[in-house]
């Protein structure tokens, strides 16, 4: 008996794991660049390869953006409702965090842009 | 009472472990000659020996063979204490731990193939974890994850089948059903 009942189970589970990892790693367009805008102008474009922290000054104060391998977020913002901070980490191409009161935005871009343009 | 000559007592156990480790080292060297598109994707032939040792002589012997293979393989390939060596060490460590747990699975249902696949996943998991923490940004590894996992599944299964065939032995087991062809051992 080379293959026992449990072996089939292990092989199936392994196959499932491989499939799940494939979908996780290759499915969806994971972003590779963070585009930071202040008052509509691009102030910084950073690759999502190494950790760094960027501080942007807006009309209300300083917005701090954190970049880590594969993801980025707005770590701190002076806006009253903290909507962009609460969005958390952004990973996929096209995801955007807007800090409207402070006029700062963080957008993730992948190889294929998710859309042509956005109007607010 | 004291003797002047230093004599290391060698038990039959030691000899057996040394012999099996030599076998594993031989396979490691042979495998190093096989070109691989991605570093880290290897058949892991030495794991065949380690799995056989585990099933026949227990976990302790398997751990010894694994450690000896790692050190001697590193020496012979010139990669001792290089990054690749530490990756292999992390892989071997996790793989041995997984085997230590998995060998308690009921062997009525879980044969060598299960152990081999689990060990292969442990191996690649340990290597990738160390690589992610230490060498490469996690984002770069992420894209390779499915490739490594698929390789672990395929090579783990193949090695497991080889171990199962070897354990079945050259004696043709003409039990009740199944194939009657004598197992050909490569």
Which tokens hold the place of A37? Answer: 């805008």
* Strand A62-68 relative to strand A52-57, pairing: antiparallel
Write down all domains in chain B, each with its CATH number in brackets.
12-168 (1.10.1760.20)
Confidence of residue B171 (pLDDT cuts 50, 70, 90): low
- By Cβ distance, the residue of A1, A11, A18 closest to B150 is A18
* Dist. CA B150–CA A26, nearest whole Å: 14
pLDDT score, position B173: 46
Q: Are residues A50 and A105 in the same domain?
A: yes
Residue A120 belongs to a domain: no
Cross-chain residue pair A2–B121, CB shorter than 8 Å: no
- Whether ipTM > 0.90 holds is no
Cross-chain residue pair A14–B153, CB shorter than 8 Å: yes
Q: What is the dihedral of CA A101, A107, A113, A117, to 10 degrees?
A: 10
Residue A118 belongs to a domain: no
Give the pLDDT confidence of B24-76 residue by residue, as tens digits.
999 999 998 888 877 778 899 999 999 999 999 999 999 999 999 999 999 99
Domain total of chain A: 2
Closest chain A residue by Cα to residue B159: A2
Note down the domain range covering A17.
Answer: 1-29
Q: How many CA atoms lie within 13 A of B160 on its CB side?
A: 27
Q: What is the mean pLDDT of residues B70-92?
A: 93
Distance from CA of B6 to the nearest CA of A (A): 48
pLDDT score, position B139: 67
pLDDT score, position B176: 43
Q: Are residues A70 and A92 in the same domain?
A: yes
Give the pLDDT confidence of A27-73 residue by residue, as tens digits.
767 788 999 999 989 999 999 888 899 999 999 999 999 998 888 99
If interface means Cβ-Cβ distance under 8 Å, which residues of chain B face chain A? 105-106, 108-111, 113-114, 117-118, 121, 137-140, 142-146, 149-150, 152-153, 156-157, 160-161, 164-165, 168, 178
Q: What is the mean pLDDT of residues B152-164?
A: 95
Q: Are residues A47 and A6 in the same domain?
A: no
Cross-chain residue pair A4–B108, CB shorter than 8 Å: yes
Instruction: For residue A106, list its beta bridge partners.
Output: A36, A97
Higher-confidence residue: B172 or A47? A47
Q: How far is CA B120 from CA A6, A35, B153, in A?
A: 17, 40, 7
Phi, psi (deg, nearest 5) at residue A85: -70, -40
Residue A119 belongs to a domain: no
Among candidate residues B143, B136, B129, the one with its CA nearest the CA of residue A110:
B143
Cross-chain residue pair A5–B149, CB shorter than 8 Å: no
Instruction: Report yes or no: A108 and A92 within 8 Å, Cβ to Cβ.
Output: yes
Mean pLDDT taken over chain A = 88
Q: Are residues A55 and A88 in the same domain?
A: yes
- Residue whose entry in the numeric block shows the structure tokens 């293959």: A3
Q: How far is CA A14 from CA A22, A89, B40, in A?
A: 12, 29, 18
Instruction: Report yes or no: A44 and B151 within 8 Å, Cβ to Cβ.
Output: no
Instruction: Report yes or no: B86 and B130 within 8 Å, Cβ to Cβ.
Output: yes
- Cα of B145 vs its chain's centroid, Å: 20
Among candidate residues B63, B139, B64, the one with its CA nearest the CA of residue A30:
B139
CATH classification of the domain holding A101: 2.60.320.10
Phi, psi (deg, nearest 5) at residue B25: -65, -40
Closest chain B residue by Cα to residue A21: B146
Confidence of residue A25 (pLDDT cuts 50, 70, 90): confident
* Dist. CA B125–CA B96, nearest whole Å: 12
Angle at B57 between CA B56 and CA B60, to 5 degrees: 140
Cross-chain residue pair B178–A50, CB shorter than 8 Å: no
């Amino acid at each position: 008996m080379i293959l026992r009942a449990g072996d089939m189970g292990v092989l199936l589970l392994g196959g499932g794991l491989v499939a799940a990892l494939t979908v996780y790693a290759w499915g969806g367009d994971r972003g590779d660049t963070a585009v930071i805008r202040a008052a509509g102008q691009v102030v910084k474009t950073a690759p999502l390869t190494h950790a760094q922290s960027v501080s942007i000054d807006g009309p209300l104060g300083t917005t701090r953006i954190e970049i880590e391998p594969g993801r980025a977020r707005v770590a701190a913002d002076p806006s009253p409702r903290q909507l962009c901070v609460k969005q958390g980490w952004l990973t996929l191409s096209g995801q955007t965090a807007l800090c409207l009161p402070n006029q700062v935005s963080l957008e993730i871009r992948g190889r294929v842009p998710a859309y042509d343009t956005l109007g607010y | 009472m004291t003797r002047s000559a230093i004599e290391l007592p060698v038990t039959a156990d030691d000899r057996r472990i040394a012999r099996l480790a030599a076998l594993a080292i031989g396979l490691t060297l042979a495998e190093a000659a096989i070109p691989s598109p991605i570093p880290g994707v290897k058949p892991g032939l030495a794991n065949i020996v380690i799995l056989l040792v585990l099933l026949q002589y227990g976990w302790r012997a398997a751990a010894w063979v694994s450690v000896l293979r790692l050190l001697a393989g590193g020496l012979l390939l010139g990669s001792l204490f290089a990054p690749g060596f530490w990756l292999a060490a992390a892989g071997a460590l996790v793989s041995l731990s997984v085997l230590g747990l998995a060998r308690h699975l009921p062997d009525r249902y879980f044969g060598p193939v299960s152990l081999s696949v689990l060990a292969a996943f442990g191996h690649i998991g340990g290597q990738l974890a160390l690589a992610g923490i230490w060498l490469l940004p996690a984002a770069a590894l992420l894209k390779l994850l499915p490739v490594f996992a698929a390789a672990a599944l395929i090579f783990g299964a193949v090695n497991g089948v080889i171990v199962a065939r070897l354990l079945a032995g050259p004696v043709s087991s003409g039990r009740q059903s199944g194939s009657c062809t004598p197992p050909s051992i490569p």
